[in-house]
Structure 1
Amino acid sequence: MATLASQLAATAVGVSQNAPAPVYASIKKSITEIKATFDKSSAIQTGATIPSFKLPNALGQDVTSESLLAKGPVLITFYRGDWCPFCNLALRSLQLHLDEFKAKGVTIVAISPELPNTSLSTTEKNELKFEVLSDVGNKFARQLGIVWDQPKYLQGVLDAFSVDLKARNGDDSMAVPIPTTLLVDSKGVVRNIHTDPDYMQRLEPTTALEWVDAL
């Protein structure tokens, strides 16, 4: 099985080779900017307790943090949206390891700012067997300090790839979560966190499984 990192790298090469030059230049510029300005110390830290939440799943049914934590530890992963190929690779990679997480008593939850009907498309396309929740307006993500208000010049990139964020997210904001994965114990305490402003980089599921083993 190819590692997630190798799949992400191959996709990044594909983007660099196939995107129009001005579009790719904007992508690289934006990543450089967010890497320079994102302050990880302003995001939620290990040892902190996550705020309680109630978010709709892909079927529009509310899922609460309390109901998830009642089952045991939770691996929460934030992704930008169904339109992001790097996000889809990360979600599929988690799905491939889902049985291993379940065997260790860990529930996986994925969260994006997309509306439930778009989350349903994500679930079906990637054949996900874990909950995909909608954090409309990035309200929960903002509580964790992991939101990127994308620069306006990236609208040209979204247009080039026919991505309509307003239709997907239900608002005029271009804000997306910085891809972040947290392992939360059954008391809601963050035990491990991985956040990278370079959205082409993601946490390997095998690393997350090592986190679980260390609980």
Structure 2
Amino acid sequence: MTLQAKLDAFKADFEAGKPPYNVPPSVIATMRRATAELIASGAAAEARKAGDKAPAFTLNDPDGNPVSSSALLANGPLVVSFSRGAWCPYCNMELQALQEALPAFQALGANLVAISPQTAVNSRKSVRQNALDFPILSDTHNDVAAAFGLRFALPDYLVELYQSLKNDLPAFNGDPSWTLPMPARYVIGQDGTILYAEVNPDYTRRPEPEDMLPALRRAVALSA
């Protein structure tokens, strides 16, 4: 089953209010409204695209060790996935799919990192629960996400909904700002050029990991 098929199956059950979710229609309507407004805002069009230079970054891994994009790119191309957090089931399914694809990325000499605004404690939990062999880097305040054009502030009505659902993002992220990154996936060549970019303001839609393989092969050819 493809990643998107798994996401669609989960979404159908969640929005139907099937156990164990039991989500009322009003909650679904609010979530759909927020997604529709983010799509309509055109924010995704402002994000970094293929052909752009990727912003350099240095972020800590879950154990507090700094990881720099320049050091990773010195060894080969880089796959970067921006993730909302361990509380997001869609993000967890994406991380699992990326883990399955990791050997194919590594065979092409690529490194893979996820970037999330969550605290290191929550990243360690996510790595453990999803059995990941790649790090989730802590992007405090979503600053790197902002450099990629991905950061957005949740509207007040969505903040109220999250609070009612006990989804306390300020506590989860160690940041009071109520911001998130739009889910995004990038392939960055060794010269820092973005060779593949997929940004979607609809967090229930994610590209397949294998969609990045042509860009990774191109990165290998360019560095040969």
TM-score, normalization by structure 2? 0.92
- Give, in whole Å, the separation in 1 of the partners of 2:160 and 2:154: 12
**Bigger mean CA offset, 162-171 vs 107-116:** 162-171
Match of 1:108 in 2: 112
What letter is aligned with 2:72?
L
2:72 matches 1:73: no
SS in 2 for 1:214: helix
**Percent identical across equivalent pairs?**
34
Q: Which of 94, 101, 121 lines up with 2:125 in the alignment?
A: 121
- Give, in whole Å, the separation in 2 of the partners of 1:158 and 1:121: 21
Deviation at 1:160, TM superposition (A): 4.7
Q: Which of 32, 36, 41 lines up with 1:32 in the alignment?
A: 36
SS in 1 for 2:56: coil
Q: Which of 64, 67, 72 lines up with 1:63 in the alignment?
A: 67
Q: Which of 138, 141, 151 lines up with 2:142 in the alignment?
A: 138
Deviation at 1:202, TM superposition (A): 0.4
Q: 1:145-181 deviations in whole A, cap 9, x for unaligned?
A: 1112111111243235432211111111111000010
Are the counterparts in 2 of residues 111 and 132 from structure 1 also a CA contact under 8 Å?
A: yes
What letter is aligned with 1:41?
A
- Give, in whole Å, the separation in 2 of the partners of 1:164 and 1:53: 27
TM-score, normalization by structure 1? 0.95
What letter is aligned with 2:158?
L
2:180 matches 1:205: no
Deviation at 1:41, TM superposition (A): 3.3
Q: 1:173-196 deviations in whole A, cap 9, x for unaligned?
A: 111000010100011110110001
Q: Which of 89, 98, 101 lines up with 2:102 in the alignment?
A: 98
2:4 matches 1:5: yes
Are the counterparts in 1 of residues 80 and 114 from structure 2 also a CA contact under 8 Å?
A: yes
Are the counterparts in 1 of residues 116 and 139 from structure 2 also a CA contact under 8 Å?
A: yes
Give RMSD over aligned pairs: 1.2
**Bigger mean CA offset, 30-39 vs 189-198:** 30-39
* Structure 1: tracts of 5 or more residues without a match: none
- Give, in whole Å, the separation in 2 of the partners of 1:85 and 1:157: 17
2:184 matches 1:191: no
Are the counterparts in 2 of residues 23 and 156 from structure 1 also a CA contact under 8 Å?
A: no
- Give, in whole Å, the separation in 1 of the partners of 2:165 and 2:108: 39
What letter is aligned with 2:200?
D
SS in 2 for 1:12: helix
SS in 2 for 1:173: coil
* Structure 2: tracts of 5 or more residues without a match: 18-22, 220-224
SS in 2 for 1:108: strand
Are the counterparts in 1 of residues 59 and 137 from structure 2 also a CA contact under 8 Å?
A: yes
Q: Which of 82, 86, 91 lines up with 2:86 in the alignment?
A: 82
Are the counterparts in 2 of residues 183 and 193 from structure 1 also a CA contact under 8 Å?
A: yes
- Give, in whole Å, the separation in 1 of the partners of 2:151 and 2:59: 17
**Bigger mean CA offset, 149-158 vs 118-127:** 149-158
Q: 1:17-70 deviations in whole A, cap 9, x for unaligned?
A: 121111111001011100100333321122221122110101111111111111
Are the counterparts in 1 of residues 44 and 201 from structure 2 also a CA contact under 8 Å?
A: no
